[in-house]
């Protein structure tokens, strides 16, 4: 399993050092640190990053403001590290591009566990692939299509930016059209049994998919809710 590049964005220097030390002991060696939003943007612009541990309270800019900027530059898996514990804060984090959320105080080994869980999922659903063009897998559904090998969502002929976890969830629906999945089934299939997410996570990611593929996200035609059962991607046979 390739050693991923990890960026720690936190102005608490002692906390960053502790997380870095634990990651090093667990075998992760490609680690960058940033104490400000400006430093984080510079690192992402100049280095390939696979995972970002992002604090919300930064000295020059909120992590909530920084996250969308990072998302425009990278498809890295973004995990918020924050003392903000309300459901609204968590939903805000997911809505602006985060993939996971850890509340302070936390055991740094939990960070390791979540990164490894994501790495295992990526082995099953790789985000990028150098598969020859002749063997491309593209799923088409009305006005949008998903290019699995390129990791791209195309809507009305335009490539639409899509966070990694949103892409993986949509890809899973595309691979199983016209089939109803409960929230629990989606959590197990896309996030993994050992992930630290809940039903709200699925709801937020469903909404983020609809915002990208539906003409009217409030009245979805493609990714629909089946009352009392779950969700399904409707595709004409």
Q: What is the domain partition of the chain in residue ranges?
A: 5-124, 133-233
Nearest to 232 by CA among 143, 222, 165: 222
The pLDDT, as a whole number, for residue 201 is: 82
CATH of 133-233, one of 3.30.365.10, 1.10.357.10, 1.10.10.10, 2.60.40.10: 1.10.10.10
DSSP-derived letter for residue 215 is S
Residue 126's pLDDT is 45
* Residue 49 backbone phi and psi in degrees, to 5: -125, 135
Residue 99 to residue 188: CA distance in whole angstroms: 15
| pLDDT computed for residue 85 by the predictor | 61
pLDDT at 125: 46
Per DSSP, 184 falls in state H
pLDDT recorded at residue 87: 65
Instruction: Phi first, then psi: give them for residue 158, nearest 5 degrees.
Output: -115, 140
What integer pLDDT is reported at residue 132 of this predicted model?
45
Tokens 């790495």 belong to residue: 119
Architecture, CATH, for domain 5-124 = 3-Layer(aba) Sandwich (3.40)
The segments of the chain whose pLDDT lies below 50 read 1, 125-135
Could you check whether 5-124 and 133-233 share the same CATH topology? Answer: no
Phi, psi for residue 122 in degrees, rounded to 5: -65, -25
User: Among candidates 234, 201, 214, which has minimal Cα distance to 95?
Assistant: 201
Task: State the virtual CA torsion across 144, 150, 152, 157 in degrees, nearest 10.
Answer: -50
Return the closest-CA partner of residue 209 out of 237, 180, 172. Answer: 172
pTM for the whole structure: 0.57
pLDDT value, residue 235: 86
């Amino acid at each position: 399993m390739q050693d991923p590049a990890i960026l720690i964005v936190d102005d608490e220097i002692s906390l960053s050092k502790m997380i870095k030390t634990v990651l090093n002991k667990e075998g992760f060696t490609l680690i960058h640190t940033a104490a400000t939003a400006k430093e984080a943007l510079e690192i992402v612009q100049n280095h390939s990053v696979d995972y970002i541990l992002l604090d919300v309270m930064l000295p020059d800019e909120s992590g909530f403001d920084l996250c969308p900027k990072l998302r425009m530059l990278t498809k890295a898996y973004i995990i918020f590290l924050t003392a903000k514990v309300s459901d609204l804060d968590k939903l805000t984090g997911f809505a602006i591009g985060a993939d996971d959320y850890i509340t302070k105080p936390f055991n740094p080994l939990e960070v390791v566990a979540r990164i490894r869980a994501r790495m295992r999922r990526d082995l099953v659903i790789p985000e990028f692939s150098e598969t020859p063009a002749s063997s491309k897998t593209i799923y088409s559904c009305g006005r949008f299509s998903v290019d699995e090998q390129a990791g791209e969502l195309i809507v009305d002929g335009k490539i639409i930016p899509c966070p990694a976890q949103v892409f993986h969830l949509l890809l899973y629906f595309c691979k199983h059209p016209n089939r109803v999945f409960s929230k629990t089934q989606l959590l197990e299939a896309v996030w993994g049994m050992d992930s630290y997410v809940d039903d709200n996570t699925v709801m937020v990611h469903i909404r983020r998919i609809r915002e990208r593929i539906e003409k009217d996200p409030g009245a979805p035609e493609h990714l629909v809710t089946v009352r009392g059962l779950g969700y399904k991607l409707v595709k004409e046979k």
